[in-house]
Structure 1
């Protein structure tokens, strides 16, 4: 049960997706040809005048991975998981910052200070966070070109932090309705890594526990809650946490520090939620927003497994779902390389020069190619990402390993480099 195949007519108008079997028949009969590999799109040889059925695009934005789902009515016909590279961007910026700071204390050439380039515009986001917004928008616009999407549903916020600390902020009905407990429990499970706060037990039923017991003046604020296994919860009872962990000062110190520390992933999501929402509205399509608590409620009610793309399918108002695919497309953002012309060593001194020419013999490093070698020691067919050289002798990274010394004459394009890696 793989993803449905996206279909275009000869005028590149998006049509209803079809099953892989139907697409295979169209390709064999010559009525269609492959338009794009990832996501797999075919284009018909004729124009279609009828209007396609409406489709809905659903998003589950995450700090590291974003779930994407395409729904046709109540059927999930396409799923994808987009892995961001925000941490990679952050590490690269920190490395560059360290090199620049190191040069200040060395006797290098003097450069006048430039302070006017430090002004930040209103709504500025860190590059690692802005990357999340731009990458999601890239795939939203890409899917809009290949599918008849009429509206977008997105998870606006995973945890409503203000509502968690002050339930009255959005009305008591919100906290005591059908979704009661889902927001708080999901937040605590993520914050405490789904482990018991006292014994670090995993894969056991966890209960919400008050760090400072209510019997001794403890509150229901999110900073006073943790998750604990049943034996630890019963053993602690109404004891204060300092008394309960008298013989474990290291555990006590960790719990008190982690209780006050906000959830990093939730902070990243909350920092970009409105920027993403505003950019989605600029597409001109109706955008519906929902919370992470409702997403989990829908997923648990429908007895679906915990995955990013199924979470996306459960965003918003969902009565029933029929999952037509179990093989989502895995997308990993890798970037387009670096614009740095001069490579440096770990001390910041130049060691090599990068050439501006990236395309050799019509190929670029990162393209997915098929090489059919019919003679010589490298006899065989190889499919994978290519590493190009100016000499025309390429290397191909296949699933079984790296094959070196393949001539460009045997290579044909399957998918050109676009800054992403794909898998199933």
Structure 2
């Protein structure tokens, strides 16, 4: 042994394995590993132990119970899977192994990426806003269910509703819940529910399965149809760990179909004691009211009298009132009759027929005087109009022109009143009774002003 090797430190196996574990965990980050499962075992502790292998190598894996509980399906021998794991070293045996955090079937990673991308896009669009979620009715009478008619989901829902609230009516819209026909059938069922609009709440359900089995419920068109549905929608798809786009679009996501049925139905066991209490209180109130009405009826029975006695008493009161009325009305009627005779006499005296003849004669006199006055006024008006017509004829320029006179105008159309207003050789116009003459001044003679 050389001096150099003698100088190296000596460590225990435990320290060696601990150091190796720290180096491996520090040098290898959390990573995805793909391979085939073999030697799978699940002891009573709930932990999973298996070997992950490919054509070149293999590695031991452990998945503890707190992580394996979130797996959708139990791994099987020969299954191709992808695991998210931390590489480490089991110090007790010095074995290299992987501590698995997540386990999905091979190919599920692409589906998960598509799922996350669609979820992020619809979330950014506002399709999943909590404030748009509609409340689930507390006392629904009719429930629509969209699911497979032969699956375990409809059985669980019907059993749960029958146990919790048997009077709730259920209308099944049968559809395929996986495969190529699932999406079109689910969309058609949602359209029928929206068209009928006769149910109070809708359940979309399906039992558990792999990611591929549940993929129909990650369709964008289904998510939009759920949001546009006129009634509240509850989803119960897969197991508690399964989430789909439909769950985020729904007004309420239930972990399982059974939980969805529980969400829409009151619990009979919870309400029966309350209803029995209300029934007891109602019966007591009715008995108390019946006793009170019985006592009141007995009181009225004691006060009740025979109808003949009431009629006799009423007849006696009527006769008294009749006699009193006769005594009080006869004097008043006599006085009124005397007063009526007086008014009739006065009316005869004031009859206008006595004055009609005199008024007619006076009217004829007034008519004669009015006619004579109108004749006089008419003659005066005719005479006045004749005078005015004569004066108008005398002032009419045409009448002057008819007598042989003419109106002279200069070249500008101004009337000439004096010979001084024109010049020798100037042209003037003479307007006659009929027509006009264009003249030329040959001589002027001054006249008296």
TM-score, normalized by the shorter chain, greater than 0.5: no
Task: Provide TM-score, normalisation by structure 1.
Answer: 0.17
Larger relative contact order (C-alpha < 8 A, sep ≥ 6)? 1
Task: Provide TM-score, normalisation by structure 2.
Answer: 0.16
Structure richer in helix, relative to its length: 2
Structure richer in strand, relative to its length: 1
